[in-house]
Amino acid sequence: MGALDGRVAIITGAGRGLGREHALLFAAEGAKLVINDLGGSPRGEGTDRGPAQEVVDEIVALGGEAVAHTESCADWDAAERLVQLALDTFGDLHVLVNNAGILRDKMLVNMGPDEWDAVMNVHLRGHFAPTRHAASYWREQAKNGVEVKAAIVNTSSGAGLIGNVGQANYGAAKAGIAAMTVIEAIELARYGVRANAIAPVARTRLTLETPGMEDMVAAPTDAAEFDKFHPGNVSPLVAYLATADCPFTGGVFHVGGGEVGLFTNWTLPERIVKDDRWTVEELREAAPRLQAGRPTIASEGLTIAETLAGFNE
């Protein structure tokens, strides 16, 4: 038996890269799949039905069950049709993997509203719209007395959790996805829905366009060497988070190569406290204690590539 036998899953952005690897593993583990992919460029331009259908054909050739959906997951009505396609084709929905994304990298001082809005639309709205329609279905199921064991797996990034030069739009969207995941976990628990997110480290079309990452994530020249940046290394965690009995919810996971870790969201490890309002001069004296022992990535201007330089060493 596969770990996902009988589970119906939607995976957005599943025509290439991480999404394709997720889909192939899900199918191997027994899931029935809706493969969503608009087929656009890494910048989100153009459309192509080919990538989604090719993954469907590959899964069917291996004995699995899958159907393609080639509309934008960021479109409100298309996202509703995406969820309905799963229900009409397979009779149920248990898993939503929000994976679709694009890049419009520019330094902040050169970025225009088009670069900002396009990335926010695909990432944030592209996570929200399918989730909202899937959650409505699961809520109705729960209200009708059906035991729901559903899972949402969102896709964040180290660019949002750590920061990266030239990616203010992408990082802001990915940080928003991490926050949205925590809130989804809180709100949807009553309906039997868990929500987690991953921050993957892998070689994809988007990663190869990220400043400083192309050389770092290159495939090894020795075929016998473990390819720690292969996108397939990420998929087992996604599949585990999608299983019916997985205990995790509200988590944001680092994953890549042979590593899996659980991020700690914003914390207050140190405070300065008095029984009255602070003055500016008092803060000038006391506030520097808050920085003691804390990372200074932002002040040093490190890139995400540099912060991950020790990955899997």
Cα 64 from Cα 29, distance rounded (Å): 10
CA torsion, ordered 226, 255, 304, 174, to nearest 10 deg: 140
How far the first Cα of the chain sits from its last, in Å, is 35
Identify any residues that bridge with 153 across adjacent strands, giving them in sequence order: 97, 196
CA atoms within a 13 Å half-sphere pointing along the CA-CB vector of 203? 12
Q: Which two tokens stand for residue 99?
A: 């994976």
**Set 137, 170, 191, 240: catalytic member:** 170
Spatial CA neighbour of 206 closest among 178, 164, 259: 164
With CA atoms as reference, report the closest residue to 93 among 197, 192, 184: 192
Burial 287-307 (b: 16+ CB within 10 A, else e): eeeeeeeeeeeeeeebbbbeb
- Taken as a whole, the chain contains a residue count of 313
Name the residue with tokens 């608009």: 38
Question: Quick check: is 170 catalytic?
Answer: yes
- Which helix H or strand E contains 10, and what residues bound it? strand 8-12
Active site (catalytic) residues: 170
